[in-house]
Structure 1
Amino acid sequence: MSCLSKDKRVWISRDNSERFVGSSRTTHNAKRKLQTIDSKIQDLLSRSHDSSSSSDKDTPPRDSGIESSSSMDTGPPNNFMKLRLEKADCLCQLGRLKEAISLYTHCSNSNGDFTPERLKHFIEALSRSATLRENGSVSFASNGYMADPWSCSTCCGVLSDPISLPCGHCYCRKCLERDLGESLRCRKCGQNANHKHLSSLRINVLVNRLVHKYWDNDLKALALRNQGNQLFQESRHEEALKVYSEALALGTNDHILYGNRSHLYFKSGEYLNALEDADAAIQLKPEWAKGHYRRAVALQKLNRQEQAFEAFYKCLILEEGKSKPVRNELTKVLFELMARYKEHEEHACPDQENSGADQASHGKRQRYLRRVSTSEPSQLHNLGAKTDFDLEAPTDESRPLTFQSSTNASNTSLAPDHPLYRLLDDTIGSATPLRALTCKKRQDDRPIAEEAVDVNDYECSLCFRLLYEPVTTPCGHTFCRMCLDRSLDHNSCCPMCKGNLDQYLAERRESLDEFVDESIRRLLPEEHKEREILHDKEMEELAGAGNGTQQEVPVFVCTMTFPSIPCPLHVFEPRYRLMIRRCMETGTREFGMCCRIDDTEPFAQYGTLLEIRDIQYFPDGRAVVDTVGGRRFKVISRDVRDGYHTANVEFIKDDKVLPEYVPELKSLHQEVLTTALSWFNNMAREIRDGIVSHYGQIPDPEVDYWNLPNGPSWLWWILVTLPVPPQMQLQIVSMTTLGKRLEAVQKIIRYLTRSH
């Protein structure tokens, strides 16, 4: 047993009685109501039996040809029939649909006033059974079918005038304009675009060129299909049929094209041809609801009602039970089948006494069928109202519904092999493979001729190498992500068309162009592997792989920094924007910070490694980088890469303190700490508050500070607040003896105290 939630539907295994119910409260109420109705029925039966017994004693029997059960039904006929119909409705709520259809059939046979509206609850229960997911969950209908990256994410057809959304998924421009509107919510991933107007997006230049190269026949067929649609709307059916057939002759596998021609055949009264094309559409795309609808209406006209019922039910599954027109069609077909089975039984067992009621029932049935006839059903046009609309199916996380017979035999039960039972079983059974099919990850790949693939089609116009991690700008041009980022460090315009990319830069996009990326991986696997290896080698070099205590690191030349002390940076120069981005891409999240001391060297011989904690970007590409000091290092050699400095460094740390010197060191430490705190507390309040707001409170001494590689944190905190030149601070950073560093800081504080 699988329970979706306490107040949601409950799905129970095939062998149990209840298959589908509503909320727990609704189920409880339905059961109580069912018990009440059963009691009332038994009471009516008892009173009818008593009345019948009394009548048998007082009056002679009449040869009416009416069975005793019929006399029961006509005892208080309105009340008895009403109770049975209410019981059938309750059984529908509980998912006991075979018992319900038995009662509906009995009432239909016994009452000439039985109308198709009486089947409303049964069809609603059937609709609920067609829903493949619980309310509120993401389904294929809302999330879009997992289309092949080479196809439109809406229509699953060939991409015509392809547009790439910021999430990287491609659509036909027509599909975007028709189905997504200005909200630009991707059907495939659900991501919202920030563009206010569709006109801000341009056709993807590279994808458009590749589509015309790979699938030119499909594009020609699409153009013919659109032409045929226009002719059909102008009621020029013969010309439209010719155009549709010409498009199919191109060898395209367009399910919508077959669906449109099926509809044209249907309108022309060629129902066998309509059925054949509907079957072809379903063969190409079994999860397309409209294809099953086209099949169903053709079967209706061919008077194959059982198959039509099955096709409408499949359509209902793929629409998650939400289509009212399809529910109406199911009602119509079921009502007609009940009438057909009744007439068959009457031919086998004629009953002249009921002919009047049958004629009245037949008249109402025919009036209803004429009212909901689908020869020109405007309401059914809502089923995929737009010519090329594609309905998709959600994933089924539950087992399919099956119907079971009542374990309680009664005089209202149909025979076990009754056609209605077989119809329901066959319908649900045929839908089971469809449910499994809707769990497919995505449709088959669109075929590409091997000779059409050329590696030069996928060359980045900035680095002239195979595109790696391709991204597409709003203006429709595609580049390697890293290449475009480097270009935008210097200029916020497209390198190809010089279009403004301020919005693109502000969004900090990370999504790849799915079409281009998947094309390279599938069509050029060896070339992609080589490009990936080259990229990984470059990342390793940028990460500064070293040997032993030495390592190559990027260097930010700016100011003095110290271990464990925060250092916020405003990064705006293109070279340092590139450097910071590479630190993040390689995963090191570290870079060296050195100050400039004199003109003899580009930066000092000692510095501190800064660890990136957070980055906040401005819309124009500038960034505020939150860092904190880490390891100290000594510069061994210097270099330059892509405009910023690098250095081969050796990391330094404090010498180990021998146990016999620890007491003396602790005494010196306490003395310097007391002096430093006294000096700091004697500062002007405004200065002291400014230091605390920028660097935080002075840290407490660590328990075993003499064993730490950089000594106690509070010493660096004091050092950064001391008003001394960088040369003196640099000298203290280079010291590897904690005692000497304490003495140096103590001398500075004493000097500052005396001078004030």
Structure 2
Amino acid sequence: MQGPGHFPADPPVRCLEMLEVAEEAFRAGNFELAAEIYSSQQEELPRTNRALWLRKGDALALAGRVADALDSYFRAAMMNQLSPDELGVLVGSIARNIREKDLGLPSTHSHTHPAAPHSQSSPTMLSCPKCNLLLLDPVTLLCGHTVCKKCMCATGAPDCNRCQDRMKGKAESDLIHSRDFKVNVVLGNLLEKWLGKETRVRRLLVEGQLLRERHNVMGAMEKLSTALQMAPCDSLLTAERADMYLLMKNFKQALADADFVCRNQPLWPQGHCIKAKALSELGRTDEALKEFLYCVALNPEWSSMKTEAQKILCDMLLPTFDNVQASLGSPFHVQPSYNELKLCFLNSSCASAANMPLPGCSKDLLFKLTKCSFPVNGSFQTKEFTEEASRSCGHSIDKTAAIPCANLKRKHPNSLEDNQSAAKVIKTDNERKCENSIESEIQDIPLHLVDACDFECSLCMRLFYEPVTTQCGHTFCLKCLERCLDHNAHCPLCKENLSQYLAYRAYKKTFLTEELIIKYLPEELVERKKLHDEEIKELSNLNKDVPIFVCTMAFPTIPCPLHVFEPRYRLMIRRSMEIGTKQFGMCIADDLKGFADYGCMLQVRDVKFFPDGRSVVDTVGLRRFRVLSHGQRDGYNTANIEYLEDQKVEGQGHEELRLLHDAVYDQALTWFNSLKDNMKAQILSHFGSMPSKESELQNNTNGPAWCWWMLAVLPLENKAQLTILAMTSLKDRLLALKRILIFVTRRRPR
């Protein structure tokens, strides 16, 4: 596109002002006004200006007046040969008209590269999100999405184009190599079972492509021919064979295959691309231009196809007659010696000019792309005959340099449904039968092939629930796999080392496996979910079968950090997080019963995992409880419990309790302040600051928080602490603390 800086260096002042107005109109999208101003200024400029003709052509093209635009481009070509880059606006405008008016597609286009159509032999659910074809050797990425092994190897790193999940950091970088990921065993077996023929066809296609990359053309053609015998109406296979014929310079056969593809997949740009190349090699340049323009119309960002169209148009607009400069001042006429490919502006009906659409728009049927002579009633007539015929209809041909954007139409309907139905009209009966048989095969998977045993976890022997797939390709229920990795960082089936997978700790569900279960095994899934919900409900009960961590003393409101490394406690902590309670009991050990009869419930505030599965759990004490009965679940201890509450006192007893409380608090504060600085610093870093006195002593069922803080920091044995923890009388607890403070104060060295 030419800018205003390309205009004459010294135009008249008024011309310069008008050109600036035209440029503003151009930038504002008012192309009709811009073209009109450019036309008026061409008459006032001291000499004809090529840049102005190009700018006017761009404005007319963007306004949809392609025929008029070509007049301007041709004028510029007569002054100096056009370059393909100067026709970018023209090609874009023609392609946009085709896209919007002929094909009925939206003006925007999100794909940057032409994509293959869905294979006729692959349901969408079982298609690879990268290549859009039936999954072959399916590999499940860490994000849970599944792609073809070949597609993942081609990218070099398993980044998902669905969720844009990109692994970062050292733990993830160890997993980005495609060789670390094996074929998903469950999905691979299902594809072989459900779509055996389609899978074999897909494999033959891939094998053929690999042979072609190795320059074994005959071997590749043999693979494609075998695949087409199994799926004779597959557009992708036919397109691959057409491309192979191009490579072998068998352009007629390539054209035949490409034409078949375009009729079956009229909205697939790759089919038009192959057809355009074949036509170009056969010297049928005008038809090749149509196909290149369709490629651009279907994929506006396909720059290479746009460039090819620009090159052809550039050649078509190349003037070859003599004394061009002498004719610039008057209406030009093409000499009979102009024997190269020309573009002619023809009237296709005798309709009055008043009822005609704008020249160059998609509905304008006035243009036709031809060579020097035109086929009329089966024979070729000269250009002069065509002009005479046109004049007899009441319209004269006043331009021989107009591009036929309108007749680039292929009579495509204005909607996708109409387009597909129109394509079917021209198919032979055999093709229709062939296609219908394939379509009926792939509408759905036959129910007799669906077996719940194919979706059975090898650990729990039940239907997959939240299926996850390891990098070795085996699938398990999420909870089943986590329990196995608690004990051993190896695959339960193949024993492959999964330490890196464990370190990543982003266990994502395998979406495709779950989607297949939802679609084909809905009743079994309901039963499986019901069983899972019952287990969760049972685990969520904080009075019955409460998980017990047997370790140390814990007190209400006091932090209790834990280092978890035993498999049974890994499971216990994970379950408390998953069910949402984030709570478990803490008791000290007992030689006879296994753990003490009293303890404290802990609330998980945060969990930090290490690559080897260990974790540091930040917890804080909640409520005290008494153990009613002891039990076990999956290796860890459980208990039926009842919660303890302080007894409330009123009247005179409440006042005596307050006086005792204040006295013991002051005594405790004095003792703490008397400690050495290093000891105080250790206490503060571990337990935090000493809580302040509370205005109401009996608001909390556990009593004042400072009592538990003091009990935690005093140098007492666990049994003594347990005795005070079990007290339900605040008065008794305060008296016990008073005696302990007196004792530790007297024992302190002076």
Whether the TM-score (by the shorter chain) exceeds 0.5 is yes
Identify the match of residue 583 of structure 1 among 576, 580, 588: 576
Report what 1:697 is aligned to: 689
CA distance 1:447–1:258, change in 2 (3 Å) = farther
Using the TM superposition, give the Cα deviation of residue 486 of structure 1 relative to its aligned residue in structure 2, in angstroms: 1.2
1:579-658 alignment runs, 5 A limit: 579-596=572-589, 598-658=590-650
The reply to whether residue 755 of structure 1 matches residue 747 of structure 2 is yes
Contact 2:116/2:270 (8 A) holds in 1: no
Using the TM superposition, give the Cα deviation of residue 241 of structure 1 relative to its aligned residue in structure 2, in angstroms: 5.9
Letter in 2 for 1:448: I
Letter in 1 for 2:525: H
Q: Which of 290-299 and 648-657 deviates more?
A: 290-299
Identify the match of residue 251 of structure 2 among 243, 258, 268: 268
Report what 1:312 is aligned to: 295
Using the TM superposition, give the Cα deviation of residue 511 of structure 1 relative to its aligned residue in structure 2, in angstroms: 0.9
Unaligned runs of 5+ in 2: 1-22, 320-328, 344-356, 368-402, 421-438
Report what 2:372 is aligned to: none
Secondary structure of the 1:709 match is coil
Q: Distance in 2 between matches of 1:744 and 1:143?
A: 80
Using the TM superposition, give the Cα deviation of residue 602 of structure 1 relative to its aligned residue in structure 2, in angstroms: 1.2
Q: Distance in 2 between matches of 1:426 and 1:600?
A: 92
Contact 2:34/2:59 (8 A) holds in 1: no
1:724-743 alignment runs, 5 A limit: 724-743=716-735
Report what 2:180 is aligned to: 200
Contact 2:91/2:293 (8 A) holds in 1: no
Deviations 1:104-152 (A, max 9, x none): 43342575246244212444678999999999x9979799999944232
1:708-723 alignment runs, 5 A limit: 708-723=700-715
Identify the match of residue 328 of structure 1 among 307, 317, 321: 307
Identify the match of residue 45 of structure 1 among 38, 43, 46: 43
Secondary structure of the 2:595 match is coil
Using the TM superposition, give the Cα deviation of residue 729 of structure 1 relative to its aligned residue in structure 2, in angstroms: 1.6
1:395-410 alignment runs, 5 A limit: none
1:437-456 alignment runs, 5 A limit: 447-456=444-453
Secondary structure of the 2:698 match is helix
Report what 2:512 is aligned to: 515
Q: Distance in 2 between matches of 1:714 and 1:558?
A: 23
CA distance 1:559–1:365, change in 2 (3 Å) = farther
Report what 1:83 is aligned to: 52
CA distance 1:696–1:551, change in 2 (3 Å) = same
Deviations 1:342-388 (A, max 9, x none): xxxxxxxxx9973468978x86989xxxxxxxxxxxxxxxxxxxxxx
Report what 2:479 is aligned to: 482
Contact 2:239/2:258 (8 A) holds in 1: no
Using the TM superposition, give the Cα deviation of residue 424 of structure 1 relative to its aligned residue in structure 2, in angstroms: 10
Q: Distance in 1 between matches of 2:643 and 2:536?
A: 22
State the TM-score, normalizing by the size of structure 2.
Answer: 0.72
The reply to whether residue 528 of structure 1 matches residue 528 of structure 2 is no
Q: Distance in 1 between matches of 2:361 and 2:570?
A: 79
Q: Distance in 1 between matches of 2:115 and 2:598?
A: 56
Q: Distance in 2 between matches of 1:253 and 1:542?
A: 56
Question: Could you tell me the percent identity over the aligned residues?
Answer: 35
**RMSD, aligned α-carbons:** 4.6
Report what 1:190 is aligned to: 164
Report what 2:198 is aligned to: 218
Report what 1:19 is aligned to: none
Secondary structure of the 1:697 match is coil
Letter in 1 for 2:243: H
Using the TM superposition, give the Cα deviation of residue 296 of structure 1 relative to its aligned residue in structure 2, in angstroms: 5.1
Letter in 1 for 2:511: E
Identify the match of residue 143 of structure 2 among 135, 158, 167: 167
Secondary structure of the 1:723 match is coil
Contact 1:608/1:632 (8 A) holds in 2: yes
Using the TM superposition, give the Cα deviation of residue 628 of structure 1 relative to its aligned residue in structure 2, in angstroms: 0.9
Contact 1:312/1:326 (8 A) holds in 2: yes
Letter in 2 for 1:632: R
Secondary structure of the 1:249 match is helix
The reply to whether residue 279 of structure 1 matches residue 245 of structure 2 is no
Secondary structure of the 2:608 match is strand
Q: Distance in 2 between matches of 1:141 and 1:269?
A: 27
How many residues are treated as equivalent by the alignment? 626
Report what 1:537 is aligned to: 534
Q: Distance in 2 between matches of 1:675 and 1:455?
A: 70
Q: Distance in 1 between matches of 2:651 and 2:231?
A: 87
Report what 1:119 is aligned to: 87
Using the TM superposition, give the Cα deviation of residue 556 of structure 1 relative to its aligned residue in structure 2, in angstroms: 0.2
CA distance 1:76–1:140, change in 2 (3 Å) = closer
Q: Distance in 2 between matches of 1:509 and 1:686?
A: 42
Deviations 1:159-216 (A, max 9, x none): 33332222222222222222x11x2212222223532422222222222222222222
CA distance 1:165–1:44, change in 2 (3 Å) = closer
CA distance 1:159–1:733, change in 2 (3 Å) = same
Contact 1:634/1:649 (8 A) holds in 2: yes
Letter in 2 for 1:173: K
Q: Distance in 2 between matches of 1:208 and 1:411?
A: 57
CA distance 1:261–1:425, change in 2 (3 Å) = closer
Using the TM superposition, give the Cα deviation of residue 611 of structure 1 relative to its aligned residue in structure 2, in angstroms: 0.8
Report what 1:684 is aligned to: 676
Q: Distance in 1 between matches of 2:214 and 2:713?
A: 84
Report what 1:98 is aligned to: 64
Using the TM superposition, give the Cα deviation of residue 455 of structure 1 relative to its aligned residue in structure 2, in angstroms: 2.1
Q: Which of 289-298 and 733-742 deviates more?
A: 289-298
Q: Distance in 1 between matches of 2:523 and 2:363?
A: 66
Letter in 1 for 2:470: T
Contact 1:455/1:524 (8 A) holds in 2: yes
CA distance 1:339–1:40, change in 2 (3 Å) = closer
Letter in 1 for 2:227: A
Deviations 1:424-452 (A, max 9, x none): 99799978759x99xxxxx9987423222
Letter in 2 for 1:452: L
Q: Distance in 2 between matches of 1:735 and 1:428?
A: 92
Q: Distance in 2 between matches of 1:503 and 1:464?
A: 26
Secondary structure of the 2:623 match is strand
Identify the match of residue 27 of structure 2 among 27, 30, 42: 30
Report what 2:499 is aligned to: 502
Using the TM superposition, give the Cα deviation of residue 697 of structure 1 relative to its aligned residue in structure 2, in angstroms: 1.5
CA distance 1:252–1:143, change in 2 (3 Å) = closer
CA distance 1:163–1:230, change in 2 (3 Å) = closer
Report what 2:332 is aligned to: 354
Q: Distance in 2 between matches of 1:160 and 1:477?
A: 17
State the TM-score, normalizing by the size of structure 1.
Answer: 0.71
Secondary structure of the 1:566 match is coil
Contact 1:256/1:281 (8 A) holds in 2: no
Deviations 1:251-273 (A, max 9, x none): 48754313213434664313662
Q: Distance in 1 between matches of 2:728 and 2:117?
A: 64
Deviations 1:269-304 (A, max 9, x none): 136622443236627xx5x54245335556777754
Letter in 1 for 2:47: P
CA distance 1:37–1:240, change in 2 (3 Å) = closer
The reply to whether residue 571 of structure 1 matches residue 564 of structure 2 is yes
Using the TM superposition, give the Cα deviation of residue 466 of structure 1 relative to its aligned residue in structure 2, in angstroms: 2.1
CA distance 1:666–1:511, change in 2 (3 Å) = same
CA distance 1:666–1:187, change in 2 (3 Å) = same
Contact 1:160/1:219 (8 A) holds in 2: yes
